[in-house]
Structure 1
Amino acid sequence: MANIKSAKKRILVNRAKAERNKAIRSGVKTAIKKVSAAIEANDKDAAAKALVAATATIDKATSKGVYHKNTASRKVSRLALAVNKMN
């Protein structure tokens, strides 16, 4: 454990940020799973709605610095491609 006050604060702040980032990443994964589930069920309307929600979630995560913009763009692109490939 750190002895210096600033180092103790760093530990606390980093822990709080890590928990926040973990929660945001979990939300993104959940949104992606909802899109995948709709695709598996072959429900185009539900997949399209889930895609819009997932895109918004990923964009929010990117704006908060949890994901790099290219990573977010890749995730959105892959989801959109999967939804557009549906019959």
Structure 2
Amino acid sequence: MRVTDRKTLHNKEVKGVFRNAIKKTREAVAAGKIEDAQKWLKAAIKALDKAAQKDVIKKNTAARKKSRLNKTVKAVALKK
């Protein structure tokens, strides 16, 4: 297996982890489940930080995604 193929597979796995966590967070926000949203937000932040650390995504991209996700969770938490 070529190195680029191996790295591509690894990057897809890492991206899948944070995309899944972001998706679950947004679903919990839409359903109004604040506790679940906060749990998934924590997982998403951890996954985004790891992806940025491993240069799968840029540091500023991770920061932007974390900020926007955090803002949506806070908005729902303040409504209730």
TM-score (normalised: structure 1): 0.85
Pair 1:48 & 2:38 matched: yes
Q: Give the superposition deviation at 1:28.
A: 1.0
> Which AA in structure 2 matches 1:75?
K
Which residue is 2:29 aligned to? Answer: 39
Larger Rg: 1
Q: Structure 1 residue 35: deviation in Å? A: 0.2
Summarize the alignment of residues 1-40 of structure 1 with structure 2, pairs less than 5 Å apart.
12-40=2-30
Counterpart of 2:61 in structure 1 is 71
Give the match's secondary structure for 2:2: helix
How many aligned positions are there?
A: 77
Aligned-partner SS, 1:40 = helix
| Structure 2 gap ranges (5+) | none
Matched letter for residue 17 of structure 1: K
**Distance in 2 between the 1:78 and 1:12 partners?**
37
Alignment partner of 1:81 out of 66, 71, 74: 71
User: 1:75: Cα distance to partner?
Assistant: 0.4
More helix by share: 2
Relative to the length of structure 2, the TM-score reads 0.92
Quote how far apart the aligned CAs of 1:26 are.
Answer: 1.0
User: Once the two structures are superposed, what CA deviation does each residue of 1:5-49 show, in whole Å capped at 9, x if it has no partner?
Assistant: xxxxxx800110011001111111100001001001101111111
Q: Which runs of 5+ in 1 are unaligned?
A: 1-10
Other structure's SS at 1:65 match: coil
Task: State how far apart, in whole Å, the 2-side matches of 1:51 and 1:13 are.
Answer: 33
Distance, in Å, in 2 between the alignment partners of 1:41 and 1:62 is: 29
Aligned-pair Cα RMSD in Å: 1.0
